Structure 1
Amino acid sequence: MDSNEHSNRLNTEFISLVEKINTLSNRTCSSEQPFLDALEQWRIESQQTLDSFCNEQRQTFINSRLEELNRLRTNVEELACVQDATQQNTNSIKTSIDWIEQDINNIRFNFRPLLIDEHLIVRRSQDLLPFPPSNQAIELTDSSYAVLAGNKQHVLVHREPTLCLLDRQLTIIKETPWPLDDISDICWSSVLNRFIVINSQYVFILDERTMVLEQCLTSDTVKWIRVTCSDTKIYLSTQGLGSSIFEYTLMPSIVLLKEWKSPVTCTHNEWIEDLKFHNDFLGLVISRCANNAACFELRSSTTLNCLWSIQLDDVCSMYATRCCPMLNHQWIVVAFRNPRIFHISSGGKLISTDKKCRSPSNICQIGNNLLAIWDQKCIYLQNLCCII
């Protein structure tokens, strides 16, 4: 094949690809899309609900006052027909009229903003995996630790020798030196509006506005490995076999409430590889010495009772198996060994497995529609438009 034939063939393929992209773009924007059609119907019904509520409030406001005014009008008409009506009767009616007039003129009201729950609309899909190729990535230095955590707009990562705050395009917008040799984990606290960063001995709070690290807890007896938090509690798990979970208050100060020990947390020959809080539950990745196996369990955050457990075979490696909660109570688990990403249902069933992924070592969610995945050489993004 000469160069012209090769060029013509490529041009034909390019034209075909562009046509395919245009077709999909038109389908995406089409009003005939089932999701967009359902969204519009939901908007109409929601508007009708709001209109009905406002009309009800309007009628209540009007009717309550008209009812009293009509009663007073009747009283005046009746008194006009009574020969022995007294000034006291008249004054009583005047007082009632003055009160209604004052109420109308000086009525106080306070309309609170109508808050829309961002989780109101969930597009459920069983086709999250496999992920499509990602073009958004940021390179990592060789000695970076596989830790990251996200909030609605940013993700905080360790990129040796600093902690970097990245935006939703993985652009570094702020950074601060990490003062210690090791770093174990990061989580986000929406109540504190801060990141919580730990290593084996210290717990820090990081304000993303100032990038100032504030040490808030020290341990001389145990070594921390994972951290997660609810609106009121912070949970820290320990390194090694028979891992413990320490439960602390989050506000107004960090105070130890309870230590959960083996065998409640895990058996003496198991250890906790990851720990995530979500909707009053704790997601735990528990590994065991035999067969390089692990399991992902959903536990009560108050009793640590297990609601369900799912076996993950041949996943143990030099990198921990990590988990990430999703909307609609589903979970993602990433394993570096024989690289795999597991999509797990809210009931503990394996929905699908991606065996063609890179080498995932950690994962977190940014807002509702992005996943940040840490692999050996970079952090890359995956869009969750199919389930959000």
Structure 2
Amino acid sequence: MAQPCMIATCRRVSQTLCYGCQQNFCRDHIIEHDLSLNSQLNPLSDEINALGERLKSVNLENAIGNSRKKLEQWRIDCHKTIDDFFEQKCHELDRCIRKKMEKQREEIRRIRIKMSDLIREQEATHKDIDLLTITVRDLEHEINKIEQILFQIEIKSLVLDDNLIYIENLDINHFDLISLSSIYKTINYPRENWTPLTCNNQYLLIHQEPNLCLVDQNLNIIKQNSWIYGTIYDMCWSSTLNRFIVINGSDVFFIDENFISIENIQTLQKCKWLSCTTSETSLFLSTKVWGSSIMEFSLLPTIKLIKQWQSPDTCTRDEVINGIVYNNDTLAMMIKNPSEKTIHIEIRSSITLDRIWSLKLNIAYSQNIRTRCCLLPNDQWLVVDRNTSRIFHITKDGKVKSSSAYNPPPFCAVLFDHNMLAISTARGVNIHKL
């Protein structure tokens, strides 16, 4: 039996079935239906063309610029490591030949003294002459050997592991507090310890009293060194100097990655330092006073004060800066205001200290507890509040994306390696996989 046209107002019998939508149409309405479908192609075509133009306008330099900078810094660091190793081996080679030459110089000095004594006393015997002649011939033989010396140097090719650099396409929403994984691993403190932590490309630096410890991704202690310089207020890493920087109440210390030395930087003025961070060229330090100052020091060729900001440019006179973190020509600043009993995070230009944005956080004020922040991927931030036992995810434009309770109360956090978040508490350091 013939089906009616699916258009409700049409009384004609259908003559065609549209296989796309499985509906029956009369001859006139199938033409209209076909035209209607075709008319939808034009907007889609326009949209595709617009997307094509949008793709053409994507600035690759902006998209990969920060990642390229990291790769470039890695290349510079590796070249420096190779240069340092080369210099070490050159000095080793020099020492080998110098040691032999010094031995013969000492022998020449001894012979000269002996001959001077014989000449002065005019009592040389045939035996003395024979002994001196033999000694001179032996010396000549040794010098001949030095002149003809050859070193066998076995050099192995430098083998690069492709896993040295891990490249992952991170979604801007990749980090999400709501889906933060459970604790992957923990390293416990022997006793309660409210100290900061930091990291470089390979290791975490933590204070496990009485030692400073370098810890790998599996929380194995790789190296440790005794810390006898009092309370640690902050620490950071300088890829330019290839050094960790640690500050106590008044001093700034440089610690090389091999933990060979802990150097007190005497050229820096004594201040009540509270926080530190570095860029590629500068060290930034903030002071532990109301109306905190921020000082910028050059890293190379010497540590030298180049700029200083004071209240009210930094904060009001009744505020204190709890922490500073550098990122892409900006400084994140955690600021506490006791008068208003508020805590807020601000992003400032690291060049002019102009405010880019400011966000007041819904955090209960505490006089003696510091609220800290750390950098997340894509210029986002994680604020860690020990007082309320909460962590806050802040977007790059200064909005609270989410917050979550964290127990035991967190003190400090740092993004470690490319996919791990380290959070310190009074009991130890927890690692979460992202």
- Larger mean CA deviation between 193-202 and 296-305 belongs to 193-202
- Tell me by how many angstroms 1:170 deviates: 1.2
Distance 1:208 1:218 in 2: 21
- Tell me by how many angstroms 1:180 deviates: 1.1
Distance 1:294 1:225 in 2: 17
Q: 1:375 aligns with which of 419, 422, 425?
A: 425
- Tell me by how many angstroms 1:252 deviates: 1.1
Q: 1:171 aligns with which of 220, 227, 241?
A: 220
Match of 2:379 in 1: 329
- Tell me by how many angstroms 1:298 deviates: 0.5
Could you say if the C-alpha distance between residues 221 and 195 of structure 1 is closer, same or farther in structure 2, counting changes exceeding 3 Å? closer
Match of 1:210 in 2: 259
Give yes or no for the alignment of 1:294 onto 2:350: no
Aligned AA for 1:183? I
> Equivalences for 1:120-135 in 2 at 5 Å?
121-125=169-173, 128-130=176-178, 131-135=180-184
- Tell me by how many angstroms 1:215 deviates: 1.6
Helix, strand or coil at the partner of 1:328: helix
Aligned AA for 1:191? T
Distance 1:265 1:118 in 2: 38
Could you say if the C-alpha distance between residues 341 and 119 of structure 1 is closer, same or farther in structure 2, counting changes exceeding 3 Å? farther
Could you say if the C-alpha distance between residues 375 and 316 of structure 1 is closer, same or farther in structure 2, counting changes exceeding 3 Å? farther
> Equivalences for 1:190-229 in 2 at 5 Å?
190-217=239-266, 221-229=270-278
- Larger mean CA deviation between 229-238 and 365-374 belongs to 365-374
Asked if structure 1 preserves the Cα contact closer than 8 Å seen for 2:193 and 2:426, the reply is: no
Tell me how large the CA RMSD over aligned residues is.
Answer: 2.2
Helix, strand or coil at the partner of 2:265: strand
Residue-pair matches, total: 271
- Tell me by how many angstroms 1:291 deviates: 4.8
Give yes or no for the alignment of 1:363 onto 2:398: no
Could you say if the C-alpha distance between residues 335 and 219 of structure 1 is closer, same or farther in structure 2, counting changes exceeding 3 Å? same
Helix, strand or coil at the partner of 1:371: strand
Helix, strand or coil at the partner of 1:169: coil
Give yes or no for the alignment of 1:276 onto 2:325: yes
| TM-score, with structure 1 as normaliser | 0.66
- The one of the two structures with greater contact order (alpha-carbon pairs below 8 A, sep at least 6) is 1
Could you say if the C-alpha distance between residues 219 and 144 of structure 1 is closer, same or farther in structure 2, counting changes exceeding 3 Å? farther
Rg (Cα) greater in structure? 2
Could you say if the C-alpha distance between residues 350 and 269 of structure 1 is closer, same or farther in structure 2, counting changes exceeding 3 Å? same
Match of 1:313 in 2: 362
Distance 1:375 1:316 in 2: 19
Match of 2:390 in 1: 340
Match of 1:56 in 2: none
Q: Deviations over 1:215-238 (max 9, x none)?
A: 224656521010100000000000
Gaps of 5+ in 1: 1-45, 47-113
Identity of matched residues, %? 37
Distance 1:201 1:117 in 2: 38
Q: 2:308 aligns with which of 252, 259, 262?
A: 259
Distance 1:348 1:253 in 2: 36
Distance 2:333 2:212 in 1: 26
Could you say if the C-alpha distance between residues 298 and 118 of structure 1 is closer, same or farther in structure 2, counting changes exceeding 3 Å? farther
Aligned AA for 1:379? V
> Equivalences for 1:60-75 in 2 at 5 Å?
none
Helix, strand or coil at the partner of 2:183: coil
Give yes or no for the alignment of 1:350 onto 2:400: yes
Helix, strand or coil at the partner of 1:251: coil
Could you say if the C-alpha distance between residues 153 and 221 of structure 1 is closer, same or farther in structure 2, counting changes exceeding 3 Å? closer
Helix, strand or coil at the partner of 1:374: strand
Aligned AA for 2:386? F
Gaps of 5+ in 2: 1-59, 61-161
